[in-house]
Amino acid sequence: MTDQTNTELKTIEVTQAVLVLGGGLVGLETARVIADKGYSVVIAESGETLGSAAETLPLVGMDQGQLDASMELAKASKQIEVFSSTQFAGAAGMPGNFKVWLATQKEVTEKQVGAIVVAGKVDIQPLNAAYGLALNDGVLSQSQLEQRLAKDASSLSGKTVAFMVGLAQPGNPVNMERVFRSALALSELDDCSVYVYVGDLKVASDQLERIYMQTRDKGTLYFKLQQMPAITQQNGNLTITYADPVIRQDVELNPDMIVVEEAISAGNDNEELAEMLRIELGAGGFMQTDNVHRYPVATNREGIFVVGGGAEAKKLSGAWMDAENAALRVSELLGTGSRQVSTETTLDTGKCVFCLTCYRCCPHGAIYWENESNTIIDPVACQGCGICASECPQEAIQIGGFTDAQMKTRIETAGAQKTKAPAIVAFCCQNSALEAGQMAQEFKMTLPEGLKIVQVPCAGKVDLDYILSAFVEGADGVLVLACHPGNCKSERGNTYAGWRVQDAQRMLAEIGMDQRQLRFATLAANMGSDFARIVSEMEADLKAMQ
Amino acid sequence: MSTEAKKVMIIGGGIAGLTAARELARQDIRVELVEKADFLGGHAIQYACKATDECQQCGACKVESTLKDVVESPNITVHLATEVKSIAQNGRISAQLAKGTADKGDALKQCVAGYAASPVQCAAVRGFSKHNARFYSAEGALNTETTGQAAQLDVDAVILASGFTPFDARIKKNYQYGVLPNVVTGLDLERGKRATGTLLRPSDGQPPQKIAFIQCVGSRDENLGNLWCSQVCCPYALRTAMSLKDKNPDLDITIFYMDIQNTGNSFPTFYQKCRQDLKFVRTIPVDMYQADNDRIRTRFMSEADGSPVEEEFDLLVLSVGIMPGSDNAALAGMLGIELGSDGFAAGAGTLDTVSTNQGGIFLAGTVAGPKTIANTMAHAGQSAGKVIAYLRRA
């Protein structure tokens, strides 16, 4: 469906070095894997020592030997350069050739890197206040208990310990496993009684159900509640009053100790970091939008990846997967030092008035400028969505394979092919609706006789002019078919497309055209039957209007 | 030694095998992708999009796009309807292949007239995906030019990505699956939605008005010895329910559950919406009876006072869990790797769950334990990364 054009290629050099932000366990492992692929790595860590997250995770059941081996390899690698007590101070440039600044108290160092991996930290806060409790000798946070268990477990002998988890927040498998592991450790001590008050048992992680059963076998008692129990804390005496779900009566427990859950949230400095890197944050402020096209380590910007706690609260094993995936993406981007890029996407500096609309609307941070006047689209960073081309008030931008001239020809061809049936021009995002349409064709679903599909790289490329041109060329109906909100590879192409359809609809209304002649809908690539339904509905509408 | 001349065999063409194949191919490693079914995509290609008015991050569309990447890659040879019969270590790894007659199962039942006569009804035979189309001739047979025909492969590493077997709901007789027509599994519902875009009752082809999902069917079941959470069923049921509710706000949906598992970073807000739009009952129904109009009467304990309650539904969906692949033992024996106590393939450790006790043999996806699509893709990426490092050293 695309015109076959000879793609003009040019070779650019990319820097064979990577910046890893964060020198915790995950940052070190990521650096190790990337260095193993032959790239040099710079680690920037704000703290004084590397691998410093280890203290807070004494009980997570990870293979300590494996962990130590990885850390030793990372620390011994000659390809890894470490900047500790260092703040990330900014980045400029484009994927393949970023300039980054690392600041210590004494000086700022500039480095050239091809890619950046954020090994973000999570923020861990005890939720004692939500339970109406103050932390003291009798009320510990989960982390405090883990430290006690690691350093001074015997002092917990003979205690009755009650855990509160998943009642002040939905909870997650990481917190759940910490409770299970702690319960197991306590059950090894003399005369410990363990009670767990829990909302939902979050066991959706490797081995957790089995570990849960082990804790029960060792005597841990669980109370699954729908709401928080009432807890009083007076003169060191703790009283928990809860509605027992089995005997259906209020029951009291007087434990020696209550352990409260912690919220594991996105790092405090994510916002600042995201701004410096021009990364979009997702739910809860994590360094990745909730977009399936970002699985597992990508961000909205090429060359910037996120691993471990930067993306969500996850176990170390999940972060280790991220490290390998980030290394794959790095080596795909940086290869062996040079890469071929298309020169087809162009910005006509003669037309450009330097309004920077394109800079602001580009979801991939692919546009920059030089000398306060010269706007440039970076060929590595650009994903070819064309949102900028459609938003540019000067029509100065042409997208490779989808130039305005090419699109004009395709719209003319699509609009001109007359059948007796209503002529429908469907602008289809190549990531979703185009695939769905081809699926409908492949499986011979019933499609309107007068349907013509016009491929766009992203619905964000659908210009108001395209919609109007399709009508001018003879279309009876026009469909703009985009990805579902939250599923756009370019984050907001579907939103732009929706706005343009609204604008066009206002214009159609002014000249007295029926609104049913223009429709916006969202689809996924695997929705062939829904594609068939949507286009057939439009055909039925158009026939009814005749 | 450079990895350029190296070749990797991947056993299993589901989302794990596809992801691993794509990652290796992108690094210019030759891949032989061996799949026992007639199509690529495994279970996940049969799942329907679960978007409401917005994407719910189920990942089903990523299976479609990964499959597209694989079929378009010149570095990947696809062997369909092919099983690995034996493995010999001779410096390299030598695999004997056989063109199998793998059970095509339920898919074929809908395809009585043959693919050419009724492609829509037979879409399941091709994993519902147009990207499988290139593997068949005009007559519908496997195309010998676009699929691998080798009887033996000599490779440098193997990734076992043979996936899972869905729990056979007939084992839990009280649910009356296979007896009452309107008791279906999640997988049945997915295939129906993938084919028709809507949800219909098997007994009369009409849209149901009142449905219930029963969670943990086969998973977290002490009596069966299945001490694992399948990790996918809560996200699956919640997203499907919300997607159905979005299309038909009058639909009455109940979720019977033990503990609700998370869907991702947006779970807190998503679950709040679920709580508003769906009914949640924290108990698992015991018995099912046929009621009038092919409805199903269930009996369960009331949450409020523990008294028995009866309720009727038009359709009952069993959220069947992820079980170890039925051929795990045979594959593990052939490859010389170990299975864990639950019957899933055992990884090397808690941090490296893709390497095995055999050099050159790696794991990807649900063969090593239950995973969502997102986690499967991450796991397969880790596997590909480890394979590349292994090949460089080998």
Q: What is the pLDDT of residues A93-128, one digit of tens each?
A: 999 999 999 999 999 999 999 999 999 888 899 999
Which three-class secondary structure string do you get for A121-145?
Answer: CEEEEECHHHHCCCCCCCEEEHHHH
What are the distances in angstroms from CA A159 to CA A163, A187, A188, A220, A317?
13, 10, 12, 13, 32
Contact status, residue A174 vs residue A315, Cβ threshold 8 Å: yes
Chain A, nearest residue to B220 by Cα: A209
Are the Cβ atoms of B49 and A312 closer than 8 angstroms?
no
Chain A, nearest residue to B349 by Cα: A63
Judged against a pLDDT cut of 90, whether residue B359 lies above it is answered with yes
What are the distances in angstroms from CA A274 to CA A301, B234, B386?
11, 32, 30
| Sign of the dihedral defined by the CA atoms of residues B349, B355, B358, B363, in that order | positive
Chain B, nearest residue to A224 by Cα: B259
Query: Predicted confidence band at A6 (pLDDT cuts at 50, 70, 90)?
Result: low
State the pTM of this model: 0.95
User: Cα distance from B214 to chain A (closest Cα, Å)?
Assistant: 16
Query: Predicted confidence band at A59 (pLDDT cuts at 50, 70, 90)?
Result: low
* Calpha distance B11→B40 (Å, rounded): 12
Query: Predicted confidence band at B301 (pLDDT cuts at 50, 70, 90)?
Result: confident
Question: Which residues from A are below 8 Å from B352, CB to CB?
Answer: 66, 320
Chain A, nearest residue to B58 by Cα: A292
Are the Cβ atoms of A324 and B384 closer than 8 angstroms?
yes
User: Cα distance from B152 to chain A (closest Cα, Å)?
Assistant: 30
User: Cα distance from B97 to chain A (closest Cα, Å)?
Assistant: 30
Cβ-proximal residues to A371 (8 Å cutoff; 6+ apart), any chain: none
* Calpha distance B286→B299 (Å, rounded): 6
pLDDT of residue A4: 41
Question: Which residues from B are below 8 Å from A325, CB to CB?
Answer: 378, 381-382, 385
pLDDT of residue A327: 98
Q: Which two tokens stand for residue B36?
A: 């026992």
Judged against a pLDDT cut of 60, whether residue B88 lies above it is answered with yes
Judged against a pLDDT cut of 60, whether residue B367 lies above it is answered with yes
pLDDT of residue B131: 95
pLDDT of residue A52: 56
Query: Predicted confidence band at A472 (pLDDT cuts at 50, 70, 90)?
Result: very high
Query: Predicted confidence band at B1 (pLDDT cuts at 50, 70, 90)?
Result: very low
Parallel, antiparallel or unpaired: strands A518-523 and B30-34: unpaired
pLDDT of residue A2: 39
User: Cα distance from B96 to chain A (closest Cα, Å)?
Assistant: 30
B231-285 pLDDT, tens per residue?
A: 999 999 999 999 999 999 999 999 999 999 999 888 999 999 999 999 999 999 9
How much is the mean pLDDT over chain B? Answer: 93
When computed from its CA atoms, the radius of gyration of chain B, rounded to whole angstroms, is: 22
Judged against a pLDDT cut of 70, whether residue A3 lies above it is answered with no
At residue A185, φ and ψ (nearest 5 deg) are -65, -40
pLDDT of residue B104: 59
Contact status, residue B325 vs residue B222, Cβ threshold 8 Å: no
Contact status, residue A114 vs residue A17, Cβ threshold 8 Å: yes
Cα angle B169, B174, B179; round to 5: 65
Express as a percent the part of chain B with pLDDT over 90: 81
Q: Provide the residue count of chain B.
A: 394
A359-416 pLDDT, tens per residue?
A: 999 999 999 998 888 899 999 999 999 999 999 999 999 999 999 999 999 999 988 7
Judged against a pLDDT cut of 60, whether residue B3 lies above it is answered with no
Judged against a pLDDT cut of 70, whether residue A467 lies above it is answered with yes
Pick from A201, A206, A525: CB nearest B259 = A201
Contact status, residue A332 vs residue A114, Cβ threshold 8 Å: no
> Among A21-35, A280-294, B105-119, B374-388, which is the least confidently predicted range?
B105-119
Judged against a pLDDT cut of 70, whether residue A63 lies above it is answered with no
* Calpha distance A405→A489 (Å, rounded): 25
A172-183 pLDDT, tens per residue?
A: 999 999 999 999
Count how many pairs of residues, chain A against chain B, have C-beta atoms within 8 Å.
200
Judged against a pLDDT cut of 70, whether residue A233 lies above it is answered with yes
Which secondary structure element, helix H or strand E, spans residue B82, and what is its range? strand B82-90
Q: How large is the average pLDDT for residues B159-185?
A: 97
pLDDT of residue B394: 78
Are the Cβ atoms of A443 and B120 closer than 8 angstroms?
yes
Chain B, nearest residue to A248 by Cα: B305
B57 touches chain A (CB under 8 A): yes
Beta bridge partners of B184: B317
Judged against a pLDDT cut of 70, whether residue B48 lies above it is answered with yes
pLDDT of residue A536: 97
* Calpha distance A194→A162 (Å, rounded): 6
How much is the mean pLDDT over chain A? Answer: 92
Query: Predicted confidence band at B33 (pLDDT cuts at 50, 70, 90)?
Result: very high
Other Cβ atoms within 10 Å of B2 Cβ, number: 8
Judged against a pLDDT cut of 60, whether residue A260 lies above it is answered with yes
Cα-Cα-Cα-Cα torsion B259, B264, B267, B269, nearest 10 degrees, comes to: 180
Instruction: Tell me what ipTM this predicted complex has.
Output: 0.95
Judged against a pLDDT cut of 90, whether residue B286 lies above it is answered with no
Chain A, nearest residue to B3 by Cα: A37
B200-219 pLDDT, tens per residue?
A: 999 999 999 999 999 999 99
Cα angle A223, A315, A320; round to 5: 165
Pick from B48, B282, B378: CB nearest A526 = B48
User: Cα distance from A93 to chain B (closest Cα, Å)?
Assistant: 26
Cβ-proximal residues to A259 (8 Å cutoff; 6+ apart), any chain: A139, A140, A141, A142, A145, A161, A162, A163, A164, A179, A182
Contact status, residue A435 vs residue B69, Cβ threshold 8 Å: no
B51 touches chain A (CB under 8 A): yes
Are the Cβ atoms of A328 and B342 closer than 8 angstroms?
no
B225 touches chain A (CB under 8 A): no
* Calpha distance A140→B114 (Å, rounded): 66
Express as a percent the part of chain A with pLDDT over 70: 96
> Among A3-17, A37-51, B300-314, which is the least confidently predicted range?
A3-17
Cα-Cα-Cα-Cα torsion B269, B270, B271, B275, nearest 10 degrees, comes to: 100
A217-228 pLDDT, tens per residue?
A: 999 999 999 889
Question: Which residues from B are below 8 Å from A435, CB to CB?
Answer: 64-65, 68, 130
Cα angle A529, A530, A533; round to 5: 90
User: Cα distance from B178 to chain A (closest Cα, Å)?
Assistant: 27
Q: Which two tokens stand for residue A97?
A: 């050739």
Query: Predicted confidence band at A296 (pLDDT cuts at 50, 70, 90)?
Result: very high
User: Cα distance from A525 to chain B (closest Cα, Å)?
Assistant: 6
* Calpha distance A103→A91 (Å, rounded): 12
Judged against a pLDDT cut of 90, whether residue B63 lies above it is answered with yes
Question: Which residues from A are below 8 Å from B220, CB to CB?
Answer: 203, 209
Q: How large is the average pLDDT for residues A454-476?
A: 96
Are the Cβ atoms of B60 and A438 closer than 8 angstroms?
no
Query: Predicted confidence band at A5 (pLDDT cuts at 50, 70, 90)?
Result: very low
pLDDT of residue A357: 96
pLDDT of residue B107: 55
pLDDT of residue A104: 93
Name the residue type at position A286: F
Q: How large is the average pLDDT for residues A35-42?
A: 96
